[in-house]
Structure 1
Amino acid sequence: MSGHNRWSKIKRQKAAMGATKGALYSKVIKEITVSARLGGGDPAGNARLRVAIAAAREANMPRDSIERAVKKGTGELEGESYEEVTYEGYGPGGVALIVECLTDNRNRTASDVRSILGKWGGNLATEGAVGWMFHKKGVITVKPGPSEDAVMEKALEAGAEDVLEQGADGFEVRTAPTDLHTVAASLEAAGMSLGEQKWTYVPQNTLKVDGDNARKVLRLMDALEDNDDVQNVHANFEIDESLMESLSP
């Protein structure tokens, strides 16, 4: 498992233990609200909203909280108005970063992201500077149970691009962005239990970091994720598993 994947696993474990559940709920509610505002409140006709609601359910968010977020997005209830903004930058050791945000104050968010990057040895970059290093993909987590051959067969049959075995965490199925829901529906129809479903940016190549740079990269990722306006952080770093273990809380 690459360092970046292990860092993602640590995030999920912290959320499951409740350490970051409040922050996770806040980010998911924002995404549901914006998705409903942009594409309407019916998940059947709004792919982005379907993904956001799936994330809310995976996080065990109460149904009434989901419904309120949708209604705020459609204007049935009063709520904040958020805009999407994406920043590109570099972290310690030249690690490439894409930071996706939802904010009600673009100037505040830009200042916060710039400050966090600077504190941990990074800097903002111009638009397009690192985006070309990533491919946008759909990602589906298949929970442990089925064999790798079974997941591979059903996923590829449904149009998936790749299946990655994740040990005790099950499998990660990657798709073209437009095929995410079709593949997920096929896997569920085959009786497989699904976890996270999302769109993400997958690096074309990874950059290995170690020593002080590795420590700073992890602190930077944590600091960005902890910011209320930051929804997702994508990076191309890789850290040796043994080093990751020693640096992880």
Structure 2
Amino acid sequence: MSGHSKWSTIKRKKGANDAKRGKIFTKLIREITIAAREGGGDPDGNPRLRLAIQNAKGQNLPKDNIDRAISKASGADAETYTELTYEGYAPAGVAVFLECATDNLNRTVSHVRSLFTKYGGSLGVNGSVDYMFDRKGMFLVPKKQGMDEDELTLELIDGGAEEVEFSEEYVEVICAMEDFGNMQAKLEALSLESESAELQRVPTTLVKLNDEDFAKVMKLIDAFEDDDDVQKVYHNIEISASQLETI
């Protein structure tokens, strides 16, 4: 559900269901495995692994699972994953961008193509929707009691933030992809630990849907999110408050 307005709210809603949480854990473990396999099992010397562990902890993935994933990735018989992307259209002209990690390319492309077809969409060629998204850094930070929002906003802007939004529980920070590392350092300097820190694809233009089309498109989005080979799903739907409640 990444890559559109109300990102943090939807992220929380999607993570609440037990079945969804199991899928989230699978994807987190896969990201840890890939990071450790590529850059080694020491998070101090592997920024991608450090970030993967941070996000896993933010989603309450047990420490034992994290340690096992790192240990397994370091073994000679560790699974090797290929990272790739797919692009296409859902019903009503909604752009869909998928980031995948797989140990079987034929299986993944077959699943992706069949899901697009099953739910009335179409798989496109590389570049068909990529231009509709900007790469941004997104941080979700739990709010602290007594936090001065104005002062914190100024500090975060100084660190490269383009947008800072406050809700009852969280501070959502958006920055340019190039400022991702600087923003991580700024949050650490402010003694703020993010629950999640990710590079997201944010749509440059949004599509409004009626409720019927929205329900159709969400069936496809949910199907992709349920696929173990799909790590992240991005789209350009502008979701209304009433539609958000149906998720």
Structure 1 partner of 2:153: 152
Q: Does 1:65 align with 2:60?
A: no
Structure 2 partner of 1:79: 78
8 A Cα contact 2:8 2:172, kept in partner = no
- Superposed displacement of residue 219, structure 1: 1.4
8 A Cα contact 1:188 1:194, kept in partner = no
In the aligned structure 2, how far is the partner of 1:3 from the partner of 1:210? Answer: 20
Q: Does 1:138 align with 2:137?
A: yes
Q: Does 1:208 align with 2:216?
A: no
The code of the aligned residue for 2:154 comes to E
The code of the aligned residue for 2:180 comes to L
Map 1:1-249 onto structure 2 (within 5 A): 4-6=4-6, 9-75=9-75, 78-145=77-144, 146-160=147-161, 162-245=162-245, 247-248=246-247
Deviation string 1:11-70 (CA, Å, 9 cap, x unpaired) is 533434533222111111111111112222222232221221111111112222212212
8 A Cα contact 1:144 1:169, kept in partner = yes
The code of the aligned residue for 1:181 comes to G
Q: What is the TM-score of this pair, normalised by structure 1?
A: 0.88
8 A Cα contact 2:5 2:239, kept in partner = no
Deviates more, 1:10-19 or 1:236-245: 10-19
- Superposed displacement of residue 204, structure 1: 1.2
Unaligned runs of 5+ in 1: none
Q: 3-state SS of the aligned residue for 2:205?
A: coil
Deviation string 1:125-176 (CA, Å, 9 cap, x unpaired) is 000111111111111112223343133112111222x123242242211123
In the aligned structure 1, how far is the partner of 2:9 from the partner of 2:19? Answer: 14
In the aligned structure 1, how far is the partner of 2:173 from the partner of 2:11? Answer: 19
The code of the aligned residue for 1:149 comes to D
- Superposed displacement of residue 186, structure 1: 1.9
8 A Cα contact 1:210 1:239, kept in partner = no
The code of the aligned residue for 1:42 comes to D
Q: 3-state SS of the aligned residue for 1:222?
A: helix
In the aligned structure 2, how far is the partner of 1:6 from the partner of 1:156? Answer: 20
Q: What is the TM-score of this pair, normalised by structure 2?
A: 0.89
The code of the aligned residue for 2:179 comes to D
Q: 3-state SS of the aligned residue for 1:85?
A: strand
Identical-pair percentage: 44
Q: 3-state SS of the aligned residue for 2:225?
A: helix
8 A Cα contact 2:100 2:232, kept in partner = yes
Aligned residues, how many?
A: 244
In the aligned structure 2, how far is the partner of 1:7 from the partner of 1:89? Answer: 21
Q: 3-state SS of the aligned residue for 2:195?
A: strand
- Superposed displacement of residue 182, structure 1: 2.8
Q: 3-state SS of the aligned residue for 1:75?
A: coil
8 A Cα contact 2:41 2:74, kept in partner = yes
In the aligned structure 2, how far is the partner of 1:188 from the partner of 1:72? Answer: 29
Q: 3-state SS of the aligned residue for 2:41?
A: coil
Describe the shift of the 1:3–1:166 C-alpha distance in structure 2 as closer, same or farther (beyond 3 A). farther
- Superposed displacement of residue 98, structure 1: 0.8
The code of the aligned residue for 1:83 comes to T
The code of the aligned residue for 2:152 comes to V
8 A Cα contact 2:8 2:140, kept in partner = no
- In angstroms, what is the RMSD of aligned CA positions? 2.2
In the aligned structure 2, how far is the partner of 1:186 from the partner of 1:100? Answer: 28
